Each structure stands twice: as structure tokens, then as C-alpha cells.
Chain A
Amino acid sequence: MKYEPVIGLEIHIELNTKSKMFCSCSAEYFGADPNTHTCPVCLGLPGALPVANKVAIASAQKLGIALHCENLLSSKFDRKNYFYPDLAKGYQISQYQEPFSLKGYIEFDVNGETVKIDVTRAHMEEDTGKLAHAEVENKKVSLIDFNRSGVPLVEIVSEPQIHSSDVAKGYAQKLQQIARYLGISDCDMEKGSMRIEPNVSLRPAGSNDLPQYKVELKNINSFRFVQKAIEYEITRQTEILEKGETPALETRGWDEIKNKTFSQRAKEMAHDYRYFPEPDLPPYLFTKEYVAELKANMPELPDEKRARFIRDYQLSTYDCALLTTDIDLAAFFEDTVKAYPKGEPKRIANWIIGELLRRLNESQTPLSSLNLVPASLAELLLLTDEGKITTASAKEIFEKMITSGKNAQELIKEFGVEAITTDKLEEVVEMVIKQNDKVVAEYKAGKEQVFGYLIGQIQRQTQGKADPKTAADLLVKKIKK
């Protein structure tokens, strides 16, 4: 029998607010000593009460708007009750019945086709602490670090409308792109500021029913692994179903060394979280004006930016999609266009896509980590235009700019790649003609393919500093003489 995967994604995004969700502790805990970013509130000490972070709420609402959700004017927090040692209060403050945002969608391209997946909800909650297992005085112990406790999270839940790992990956990447455009999260999967939990099950192809079981995948820290884990599950579950059995309801982790999922926790019955309205936080009644203001202050989102690039810069959809993948890259492009007097967006786009983006992808580094400013690229292009350097040298210089952060002038001097002047080039051309009289004769006799050889000789003499076009022009001119 043929099976169709039914996949829904639960994605947690950690917001990059300065302070935590319900207290004034710093939320920038990454790399900090354990339990240094804590207070009575996020430690869940007796008597401590939460006070909601307004910036975090606005961030969650903006995300809702960007996902085309309905922003609820009436919203509230609920308590989700469960026991786990890293959960300070024995309950998590979350949103159950009235989240900030409901019913939206994410639209994205997968293999050239546009896909639209519905978003069930986007709600806020607080993060938990973290357990560490260690050995202290020869005893195996579990330690709790509450630095992460109370860091604001938004959970985005999709409808189970995804039927392939490609679409799952595309959905998650688009969400990451949107959140980064909004500036509300780093969405760094390795650091855990974006966590993807796919729910995967299979049904007979052609069926529209939801399968009777569901496998939740956790602890996946890259898009590639999301895809691999889903693929692995599809194969694993197919084998079970083909034996006439039903896969167990469970949570499975991803083992990136063995490249397989493994059972973490059986879910014999649905967890009863005993949700009830959080009595420590009064419910919210947002005004229409408040929501209107949020909407008015939304930054340009990826789709809008892409459309504008196509319109304003007359570039291909493909180029614009690449340029707008990352908000920083898009800004780099636009700033370079502004800084370069001739404009020439297509040329700049080629440079950015062909040189910069390629290198960024190769080194897996974000643009923001480079000490590269748009003015440097503009300057480099100008120098090329003025014949100060050749295009080939310019590409080398650009590569050095990316790695060193130095500007074009500095690097040109440092590496001695100034293009030679036309006068000097004329001398070289004459010399090459003199030294290769046989070849020149062949050329004159109609053997045009030897022209390249002569150009090669010129470049050899100039250590590649000759502008190829000028050299060719001169060569033709001198031979004719």
C-alpha cells in the first residue's frame, strides 16, 4: 500500500527581549554561569508573582500579524500544569483558550512551487530551566540551571497539512525568515532559539482522515536534520504499517550521529495539563487602535521586499528571492546600490549573489558577523570602472574584504594589484608582438584562435594586471599597424 505522510509542526521561537517574560532578569543568558540570571519570580520562589513583559507581547502579536493571523482583542494567559524538575513553579504560564493570535498561514516556495500552510495559532509562553547531568564527588547528580527559566517563547502550531519533508523544511525556513525580518528573534537553531518539533504520521494515500497515532520528534537542531528525521520516520513508520502494525504514540529524539530517531518517551495517554486561567495576570483587552498601531509599525516582510525588489530594481524573481533571503543581505544590496553612483542593480546583485552569498553559504556565517560595509563594494566597483583594477583582481580583493574587513584601497595597495596604465600596457603589447612574430604572422594569415595565446602572454607579462578588454583592443590595433 502507498502511504502519505501527515506532518504538523510545532515551532518554538525564543524572543530576543532584553528581560525575561515575567520578571526583569536579563534574558540574554547564553553562555552565562548557571543560575546567575535568576530572581524569586523565575525561580518560582514562594509568593513570587509574574509581571508580563509588554515588549514580548507586542513581538508575539507582530508575528501573528506577519503570519496573517487574527489578532485577538481579548486574550489571556493560562497555567499549564505538569511536573518536571526544570519547571520552577510546577506549571508553565502559557496560553490555551485565548492566545494572542489564531488562524493564519505561511506561504513559501518549494522547488519552484508556491505552498500555503495554515497556522493554527501563535501563543506566548515562558521557557523552562535546563537540566544538566553531572558527576559531583563521584555521585551522579542532576543539576538545574534556571537562567533560561522565564525567557519568552512564541509557539507557532501548524495544521497537519504538510506531506513532505521538503515542505516541512520550507515552512520552518520561511518562519525563521519572517521572525528575523521582524527582529523579534535570532531563530538560531543551534543555540536553541528556534526549536522545531514535527509531528509525523502516515495514512493510506488518498485518505483524508487523520491517522490514529502521532509521533512527535524533538531535539533537532538544524533544518537539514529536520528533513532527515522526517524522512527517517516516514521509512520507519512505513515498515511498521506494512507489517500490519500501528506505530506507537511516542516522542522520539534525533540521533545525528547514527542518523536515526530513537524513542524518548511513550505517550500512552494524552497528558492532562489541567489548564486554567492564570489568576496572577489579569486578562487583556486590546483596543483596535493598539492593533492598528502594531500593524502600521510592521517592518517590510520578505514577500513585500521581494516584490519591491522585482519592481524597483528590475531583477529576476530568482535573484530577488536570493537577495531577500536574509534581511541583512537585502539591506546590503540596497545600500550598495545607493552608494554606487551608477546604480546598476543587476551588476551589484550579481556581485552579491555570485561572490558574497556564495562565500557566506560556504562558510556558514551570517553577514552580520562580517566587518563588511556596502560602501566598500561600491568603491571596489568604481575602481574597476576607472580601470584601476581588473575585474578578476576585483573579485580577489572582494574576497579579501570579506575575510579581513579592510577597504578596497588598502587591499589594492597591500597586494599590488593596481591595473597597469594604458601607456605601460602599450609597451607590453608591443613587446609581446615583437617576441611572438611567428604567431602574429599566423594570426594575420587568418588563424584567429592564436589571439587568445597572445592575450595570455600579455597577462603573463603584467601578472594579470592588464584589463583584458583594453589589452585586446590594443593588440588588434598594434597588429593592424
Chain B
Amino acid sequence: MIDLTQLTIKEAGEQLKAKQVKATELTEAYLDRAQKFNKKLNAFITITEDIAKEQARKVDELIADNQQLSPLAGIPIGLKDNYLTNGIKTTAASKVLEDYIPVYDATAVTRLKDANVVFVGKTNHDAWAHGGSGENSDFGNTLNPYDVTRVPGGSSSGSAAALAADMCMAATGTDTGGSIRLPASFCNLVGLKPTYGRVSRYGIVAMASSLDSIGHLTKTVYDSALILNATAGHDEMDSTTSTEAVIDYTQDIERGVRGIKIGIPKEYFEGLDAKIKKVIMDAVKKLESLGAEIVDVSLPHTEYGVATYYIIQPSEVSSNLARYDGIRYGSGREAFGSEAKRRIILGTFTLSSGYYDAYYLKAMKVRRLIREDFTKTFEKVDCIIAPVSPTLPFKFGEKANDPLQMYLADIYTVNMNLAGVPSLAIPAGFIDGLPVGMQIIGPDFTEKQLYQIGFAHEQEAQLYKERPKI
């Protein structure tokens, strides 16, 4: 019998449709693994066994009734615990919301429910999505399935670990400064940070509203496109969502890269760890051999990204976390962890009168320049390829006590959030058994093209077939 937990979403969907596999069987297989490995990896804060079984039963009924279903029907997925789920505890991985049960679903959750996916559980992450390693969770560290002494990357740490360890077939994430792409990179996964406004933020615990991008992690590029098909699109509940038409992101995914101009930004490779650089440049060469044109480009304001990001982001954080004032959510503000407190204090400071102009306003001006870097570059090339992380997955505690070092882990990812452009992180290779990712960045709303490029590489590299030994 086939191992159901080794299938891609595309494969599983086909088998479900062909009635070769039942959704309940698929769900049981993932639930078993989730329960078994969660003890070891701490990827889920809540496993929603009953709900998952009920959802799967419903899908089996619909299939038995020969109903036309979404390709995601019956697919077991994890939801980052900052996605509000009606009736299911949603903690944002913070003690402040330890017992919080929402009264409504996030729009992304509603859309996934409409596609009849199965919810395995709510995944762990850095509290309030603050962090790059998962170590800021108030519910304990999530371990990297590829090396349990190392971090899985954050903030979507649980989503990445659960997926890499086959505890679900996909998992949702939020990417404010790299929180989907970094864990994808650390766990050999595909992670999409969509264009800002492509997926609704409604019902997702806000971190930094002007930067929050709602995306997901999958094993393959095709699977990522399938999920985006369900979640993308205008939402009247989120004024910042775009009315740009949603297209079938899987269509023409095998188009290839012939004639595609790929920019290699020097700022992202100068000083980059030689081994990581080689892995990524090998991947780029692969794409070149498939017909892409490689062009050297420059995004001159790159170096200001982290500084800009760590002014705008905490400013918005300080305001967004104000509502957890101890009156309505049980826990008082002392229940915030030290990273949240640090950001509240930083943001309160940078917005204060007398400092606003020097920090927030200046940062907003630099943000515009950073966006211009991208728009100008995209006049010359179709996309940009860059590393995701300056390092390999690091050891627990290695950066946890040095916030600045931790913030610098975001050096290659924050600029896309500041610019609002989409970025697809895909596996690029391995170094000493540890995954290395790279990101393909494109102009606004070019997710489809990013998928085509990612898919071309994936067909060659087949890295999604790698499995951690746990």
C-alpha cells in the first residue's frame, strides 16, 4: 500500500477524485503522524482531531455523491495559530491569548473551508509572529525536522516543521519580514509571500499591517499554486486587498523559463556565505541552461532595509498590540513575552512626538526608495533571484539572546515586504544535510510567473522528494 503521507497535494487530490483513497484515510494518516511527531517537534499548539475527521467525512460524502470539488478537498493542512478560527482556540502563540476562542473565521480560513480542506491543527510560531526562529513562542520551541538541534526558521516555525515532517500536506503562514520564506528555506519547502493585498488579512492577528502578507508553505510549487487559487482575491472586509483578477495559478505552470530574464542583484550576493552562494548560483545556472537569461542588477537601497523595517514594523506592532490591554482578553500586558515588549517599546518610541520625523517618517521615505529599486529593476528583468537567509538553520540559543543578530537574519527578506512585491521561496539544495532556499521575486501580481520559474527548477532539482530523518 502507498504511504499516504508521501503524496503531494496534486497526487492526493487525483487519488481522492478517482476514489482510490478516502479523505478519512488520508486524514487519519496525517493525524497519526501529527500526534506522533508533535511530541518531538512541538509543531502544533492545537491538533483539531475531531474537526479534521468531521471535515474528511463530509468530503467523502461529497465525493461519493460525485460532486464537483476543489482540488484541495480533503487535503489535510495546518493553520498558523494567528489565523482566527471560529470556535477553535487561536493563541497567536502568546500567553496573552492562551485561552482565546474566536467568534469568527479569517477570510483565508473561510476560503479554505469553502474548498473543503481538512484542518489538522493550529501550528506553533513565534508569539505574534515576532521572530525568525520560532524561539519566541510562549508555547515552546518548534524543532527543525532536518536537525532537531536547530531552529526551523520563523516565525511560521510550526507550519514549516509540521509540513517537513509530513504532519500535514500544506500549512498557512504570515510573512511580515520573511516569516514564511525563512522557515521554508530552513525546512526544504516552498513558501509563498504573495503580493501585498493579494490575500486578505481579515481575521489574521495583525502584526505590522502595512507589511503583513498572507501566504502558505507547501512541498511543491504546484501545490502552492493550488492553495493560492483558493485564498487569493479581493475581500470586501479588507480594504487593502486588490481587485486585480485572480487567475488559475496552476495554468501553464510548465511553461518553462525560455526567454525569461532573471536578475541577480549584487547586493544580495556580496559577502554572502560562499557555500550558500554556490548552491544558489548552481540553481540559477540550471535555469540558465533551461533557457533563462541571467542579468546582473543592482538594488542600491537594499542595505537600508533592515533599519527601515525595524522602525516601521515595531511602530505598527505597538499600535496593533494596544487592544490586548488586560480588560477583555484575560491576561494583562505583563503576559507579553520579552520580544513583544521590546517591539512595543521600540515602536512607541519611534512614533513619539519629537522622534516621529526622525524615525517613522524617514523610514517611510526610505521605504519608497526601496520600492523604487524594485520597480526600476523590473523594467529590465522579469524577476530577481536572491538568497532567503544569510545562514543555514542555526542552533537553538545561538541568536536568541542577541536581538540584533536575530534581526539580521531578515536581511534578505524584509525588502520585499517593504516593497510589497511577491516572493516565492523554493528549495535550492543542501549543505551538510541542511536545507538551503532561494527566493524568486517578481513585480506586483506576478505570482503566476514566479510559479512557472519555480516549477522549472523544481522539475530539474526534485528536492521536494527529500525527507528528513526523524
Contact = CB atoms under 8 A, between A and B. Distances in A.
B360 to A, nearest CB: 6
A51 B319 CA distance: 18
Interface in B200-245: 201-206, 208-210, 236-240
B99 to A, nearest CB: 13
A40 B104 CA distance: 8
B127 interface: no
A269 to B, nearest CB: 10
B317 to A, nearest CB: 11
Interface string A73-101: 00000010101010011110000000000
Of B92, B100, B205, B327, most A-chain CB atoms within 10 Å: B327
A263 to B, nearest CB: 25
A51 B238 CA distance: 7
B97 interface: yes
Given A47-B205, A276-B315, A83 B325 contact: yes
Contacts of A91: 319, 322
Contacts of A279: 208-210, 240, 316
A88 B104 CA distance: 17
A467 to B, nearest CB: 68
B239 A272 contact: no
Contact of B327 (A85, A270, A276): A85
B430 interface: no
B6 interface: no
A85 to B, nearest CB: 6
B106 interface: yes
B174 to A, nearest CB: 11
Contacts of A81: 318-319, 322, 351
A266 to B, nearest CB: 19
B316 to A, nearest CB: 6
Contacts of A281: 239-240
Nearest to B208: A279
B319 A90 contact: yes
Nearest to B202: A49
Contacts of B353: 270, 272, 274
A40 B103 contact: yes
Interface string B102-135: 1110100000000000000000000000000000
A79 B351 CA distance: 11
A280 interface: yes
Given A40-B104, A274-B348, A276-B315, A90 B322 contact: yes
A235 B470 CA distance: 82
A48 to B, nearest CB: 7
Interface of B: 84, 90, 92, 97, 100, 102-104, 106, 201-206, 208-210, 236-240, 315-316, 318-319, 321-325, 327, 348, 351-353, 356, 360
11 contacts: A48-B202, A48-B203, A49-B202, A49-B240, A89-B322, A90-B323, A91-B319, A274-B319, A274-B353, A279-B209, A280-B239
